[in-house]
Structure 1
Amino acid sequence: MPLLSIITAAHAGRADFLPSTGESVAAQELPPGWELEWLVQEDGAEPHLAEIVEAVPQARYHANGQQRGIADTRNLALSRARGDLVRTLDSDDLLLPGALAGPIERFAEHPELHWVAARPKYLDRDGTWFTYFLLLPTGIVRPRAVGDYLVHHRMCPLHCAGLTMRTTSVRALGGWAANPRTEDIELLAALSELTPGYLEAEESWIYRMHDGQTVHDPAWGSNLVGASYLMVHNRILAIRERV
């Protein structure tokens, strides 16, 4: 029976958000024959989230036992994944109804795909909603299209927190990169250079903005952002030289 593995890297600071994230996972309805597992990997020296996570029937929880950062934590969850597909879900985000069925159907309709990017709906800190603007045409995304945008604009044209990918493809590329700011973008950059993907038009998950997010920390916007995008740029060019 085909299986989809949801990967969530979490830490103690997400304890208030994680229950509703888990509820959104448990409420998902998949196409006939499909099952899901929710792999929650807790970062940090002291585990705090086991009781919250284990309330969700599909959950499989594990704690790092040390502080490793988001890329390592996702990769540790990836090592436990049993699914044909892996879906990223941040610990403070929510899945809307049909969020998982849509990408599964795209893979069935287009067997050549290796990734599907879902469009988010943004919930701002003041409770207002706004639309995430798409910077590439929806539908099938040819190889190199994401890389071309990244090279010319030094920003990602789609949201990486809503990616569903073939598990073997992610593993073949080494999982999430050892990149201090854009570990998910670097993975997508490599994957989208080599394989076609799909960009969905409909909003299917909620990106919850809050003061505790890493991107709102003044230290996050240091010169490491520029260096991180340079790493992405260099990886794209290296792949193009070899393929």
Structure 2
Amino acid sequence: MPLLSLLTPALADRAELLVEAGNSIAAQQLPPGWVLEWIVQEDGPSPSLHELVEDFPFSRYRANGERLGVAVTRNLALSRADGELVHVLDSDDLLLPQGLSVAIEAFAAHPDIHWVAGQGDDLLADGSRRSVRLDLAAGRVERGVLTQYFVDHGGVPIHPAGLTMRTAAVRALGGWAAAPRSEDVALLVAVADLAPGYLTPAATWLARQHPGQTTRAPSWQSLFPLADTQITQRITAQRAAGLHY
């Protein structure tokens, strides 16, 4: 049976949100024959999520035993993935019921793509949803388009937290970058410069907006320029080396 691996880095203080994320996985309506596994990798020196995660029969849990950061934690989860596809699901986000099937069907319709970006609506504190307008047309995205967008605008027009990718491609590129910020953008532009992808026409996941978000910390923005430098250097080197799919 074809398998999709969901990768979730988690912290001990996200227990309640993590349960909701797990429930959204349990509600997935997959195409016939497909199954999934949920790989939860807990970051931090005092793990406490084991019993909670084990309540989900499709889960596989492991703890780092120390604080290693989101990129390393995602990569450790990746090292345990058995699926031919991997999907990123942050511990405070939710999948819509057709979220994974839309991505799987896009891979089937476009056999040469290596990534699918699901559009994400913001989930506000009052339970309402807010759509995010994207500066990119839905559908097939040819190789180099996202990379050039980053070069021209200093960012990407989609949220990389909703990505489904071919596992082999992620591993070939070394997984998530050891960057102080934007490790997911670094991976996305690297794979998108080598192979085409697909942007879903509608939302497939919900990005929860809450006070405890890491990105709301006052110091979060200060390291973005350094991360952007790393991403730009990677793009330049990748193109100079003549790498291609």
TM-score range, shorter chain: over 0.9
Aligned AA for 2:225? Answer: G
Aligned AA for 1:242? Answer: A
Aligned AA for 1:18? Answer: L
Q: Secondary structure at the match of 2:78?
A: helix
Rounded to whole Å, the distance in 1 between the matches of 2:108 and 2:155 is 30
The residue number in structure 2 matching 1:31 is 31
The residue correspondences of 1:36-185 to structure 2 (distance < 5 A) are: 36-185=36-185
Query: What's the TM-score, normalizing by structure 1?
Result: 0.97
Rounded to whole Å, the distance in 2 between the matches of 1:18 and 1:5 is 16
Q: Secondary structure at the match of 2:226?
A: helix
Q: Secondary structure at the match of 1:100?
A: helix
**Structure 1 gap segments, 5+ residues each:** none
Q: Secondary structure at the match of 2:215?
A: helix
Rounded to whole Å, the distance in 2 between the matches of 1:238 and 1:131 is 35
- Equivalent pairs counted in the alignment come to 242
- Per the TM alignment, residue 154 of structure 1 is displaced from its structure 2 partner at its CA by 0.6
Aligned AA for 1:29? Answer: Q
- Per the TM alignment, residue 124 of structure 1 is displaced from its structure 2 partner at its CA by 2.5
Query: What's the TM-score, normalizing by structure 2?
Result: 0.97
- Per the TM alignment, residue 214 of structure 1 is displaced from its structure 2 partner at its CA by 1.0
Q: Secondary structure at the match of 2:133?
A: coil
Rounded to whole Å, the distance in 2 between the matches of 1:29 and 1:60 is 20
Q: Secondary structure at the match of 1:30?
A: coil
- Per the TM alignment, residue 139 of structure 1 is displaced from its structure 2 partner at its CA by 0.7
Q: Secondary structure at the match of 2:76?
A: helix
Structure 1 segments (4+ residues) deviating >4 Å: none
Q: Secondary structure at the match of 2:60?
A: strand
Aligned AA for 1:96? Answer: L
The residue number in structure 2 matching 1:240 is 239
The residue number in structure 1 matching 2:22 is 22
CA offsets, 1:159-206, max 9 Å, x none? 100000000000000000001110000000110000000001111111
Rounded to whole Å, the distance in 2 between the matches of 1:155 and 1:103 is 23
- Per the TM alignment, residue 127 of structure 1 is displaced from its structure 2 partner at its CA by 4.3
Aligned AA for 1:235? Answer: R
**Structure 2 gap segments, 5+ residues each:** none
Q: Secondary structure at the match of 1:221?
A: helix
- Per the TM alignment, residue 242 of structure 1 is displaced from its structure 2 partner at its CA by 1.4
Q: Secondary structure at the match of 1:17?
A: helix
